[in-house]
């Protein structure tokens, strides 16, 4: 399950930017880009759970 979190957070980042930039209120750009940046940080963190095909083939 954890290996799918990278994809989920990247998609969430895009959704935050798309919706956040459509809404017009004060500090909107900073808020939407900040939340998007945080979700991309989480996406980078969860890349360590993506299986590596090369490591699995070398062990067999």
Per-residue pLDDT tens, the chain, 60 aa: give them: 878 899 999 999 999 999 998 988 888 889 999 999 999 999 999 888 888 877 666 666
Structural domain containing residue 28: 2-59
Give the count of domains, the chain: 1
User: What does pTM read for this prediction?
Assistant: 0.78
The pLDDT assigned to 37 comes to 97
Within its chain, how far is the Cα of 38 from the centroid?
8
Phi first, then psi, for residue 19 (nearest 5°) are -75, -40
pLDDT at 56: 63
Contact between residue 46 and residue 6 where contact means Cβ atoms under 8 Å apart? yes
């Amino acid at each position: 399950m954890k290996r799918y979190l990278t994809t989920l957070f990247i998609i969430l980042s895009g959704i935050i930017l798309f919706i956040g930039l459509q809404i017009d209120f004060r500090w909107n750009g900073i808020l939407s880009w900040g939340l998007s940046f945080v979700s991309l940080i989480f996406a980078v963190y969860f890349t360590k759970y993506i299986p590596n095909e090369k490591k699995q083939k070398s062990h067999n």
